[in-house]
């Protein structure tokens, strides 16, 4: 049993204390908002001793609140679907700030300032694809790898410089060396190509060694070829700017790639790691949607996948009907011409 107001203050990071991280089996929360009690049915409080910075980051994508309509004097019933630490405090505040003032025992909260948004990266080195994607105004960065660079037939320094002229955002350029010292020399050159350059290192022992050194030098690193939560933890400990778990390739071998995104999200939020999670190897629109729901900060995808996000038959059908209806009335008749 938790007092509603106190529980809210803790969840929102407003004071010290032990935040409630309720089990996924919790059936629901009854919010007795007028200073009454929050009753958690079939739930269990856990998450003792969480760091304050983890609390401030919220409860990401794990607490889903479904508020019932306010009828008469009834209080809302908010369904707790799942729980683990993440940015769900934003959701909690959004629900709470929408409540009528008389139902807020300690006053209304002001809505949060605009927060972090999901980013879309294009996974290509093709300049024509990048120009088209950039023209839509929704591309935040680019990821490349040796295979993609080789397809374009130009040296990596030249190709990356041209990419930076098209997309104003993080541009990942990967080292081809396999030993730490060689990675450091190569990576320093890549970092100097442009202010938006991000050095890409593989998740190997030498790659993590190089990542740790780069981070101490202020060089941003995208640690790639991540296939486990343990590897992602190593990347964060080494100070990686981005970690790239490969969703599609895990699906290819019978694993559930999106589960890895969820695991990394929980671990990073438990300890307040600043490393961004980039969902890589996204094969279609459902991968993009699922990675955003799982809490990935970034989704990188081929151009064809980004293009496919626009498509829906009802959009095409609706637009066609609108134009037909308009033209029936307003199109010039032959006699008027």
Residue in 284, 249, 279 with CA at minimum distance from that of residue 264: 279
CB within 8 Å of 290: residues ≥ 6 apart: 258, 261
Q: Is 42 left (phi over 0), alpha (psi -120 to 50) or beta?
A: left
Q: Is 34 a catalytic residue?
A: no
Residue in 193, 278, 196, 195 with CA at minimum distance from that of residue 235: 278
Residues 145, 137: contact at Cβ < 8 Å?
no
Cα 84 from Cα 272, distance rounded (Å) = 14
CB within 8 Å of 146: residues ≥ 6 apart: 156, 174, 176
Name the H helices within 99-155.
Answer: 127-135, 146-152
Burial of 100 per CB tally in 10 Å (0-12, 13-18, 19+)? exposed
Cα 28 from Cα 82, distance rounded (Å) = 10
Of residues 200, 237, 317, 324, which has the active-site annotation? 200
DSSP 101: G
Q: Annotated catalytic sites, by residue?
A: 200
């Amino acid at each position: 049993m938790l007092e509603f107001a106190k529980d809210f203050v803790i969840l929102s990071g407003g004071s010290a204390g032990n935040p409630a991280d309720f089990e996924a089996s919790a059936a629901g929360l009854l919010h007795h908002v007028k200073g009454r009690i929050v009753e958690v049915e079939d739930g269990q409080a856990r998450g003792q001793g969480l760091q304050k910075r983890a609390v401030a980051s919220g409860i990401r994508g794990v607490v889903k609140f479904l508020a019932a309509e306010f009828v008469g004097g009834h209080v809302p019933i908010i369904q707790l679907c799942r729980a683990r630490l993440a940015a769900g405090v934003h959701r909690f505040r959004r629900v709470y700030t929408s409540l009528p003032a008389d139902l807020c025992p300690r006053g209304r909260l002001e809505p949060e300032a605009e927060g972090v948004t999901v980013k879309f990266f294009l996974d290509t080195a093709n300049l024509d694809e990048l120009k088209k994607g950039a023209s839509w105004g929704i591309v935040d960065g680019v990821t490349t790898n040796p295979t993609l660079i080789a397809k374009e037939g130009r040296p990596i320094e030249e190709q990356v410089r041209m990419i930076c002229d098209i997309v104003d955002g993080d541009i990942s350029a990967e080292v081809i060396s396999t030993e730490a010292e060689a990675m450091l020399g190569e990576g320093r050159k890549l970092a100097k190509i442009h202010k938006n350059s991000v050095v890409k290192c593989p998740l190997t022992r030498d790659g993590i060694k190089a990542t740790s050194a780069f981070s101490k030098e202020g060089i941003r690193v995208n640690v790639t070829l991540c296939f486990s939560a343990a590897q992602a933890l190593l990347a964060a400990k080494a100070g990686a700017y981005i970690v790239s778990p490969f969703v599609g390739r895990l699906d290819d071998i019978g694993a559930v790639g999106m589960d890895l995104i969820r695991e990394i999200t929980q671990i990073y939020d438990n300890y307040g790691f600043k490393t961004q999670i980039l969902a890589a190897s996204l094969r279609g629109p459902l991968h993009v949607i699922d990675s955003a729901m799982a809490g990935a900060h970034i989704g990188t995808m081929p151009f064809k996948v980004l293009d496919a996000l626009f498509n829906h038959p009802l959009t095409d059908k609706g637009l066609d009907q609108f134009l037909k209806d308009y033209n029936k009335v307003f199109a010039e008749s032959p006699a008027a011409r």
